[in-house]
Amino acid sequence: MRQDELIRQRVQRIEPVAPYLETPPARLIVCGIHGGDDFATGLRVGETVFPREGESTDALRFRAMRAVPADALRDVKGDAIGYFVYSGLPPDHCAPTARHLAGYFV
């Protein structure tokens, strides 16, 4: 995918590609764009942005899971919700909607 195609893509729940090798200290649901990994610059959870430091998006997600802030948005099950930030898109482009907070992910 090219960067100019990101804006036309649907925001969805992004599942990790790699399996968890350790028990995560917190559940974290992540919204983002499938195929946009090359353009992800960070992961926002609450008011905290975890910058991508040359790692895979899965490694970034696992790092954020170990440090979920208290102000994180949560769904109806109590799971924290975060979203990827992409270069070339507004910082809140993938922010969760009311439907996401109600537990509806497609």
Regarding pTM above 0.85, the answer is yes
End-to-end CA distance of the chain: 20
For residues 85 and 100, give the distance between their C-alpha atoms in angstroms, rounded to a whole number.
Answer: 17
Residue 54 has pLDDT above 90, yes or no: yes
Q: What is the pLDDT of residue 23?
A: 73
> Where does residue 13 rank: exposed (0-12), middle (13-18), buried (19+ CB within 10 A)?
middle
- One DSSP character per residue, 4-68 reads GGGGGSPPEE---SSPPSS--SS-EEEEE-TT-GGGEEEEEETTEEEE--S--HHHHHHHHHTT-
Q: Where are the domains of the chain?
A: 3-101
Q: What percent of the chain has pLDDT over 70?
A: 92
Query: What's the pLDDT tens digit per position in 59-81?
Result: 999 999 999 999 998 888 888 99
Q: Which residue has the higher pLDDT, 28 or 96?
A: 28
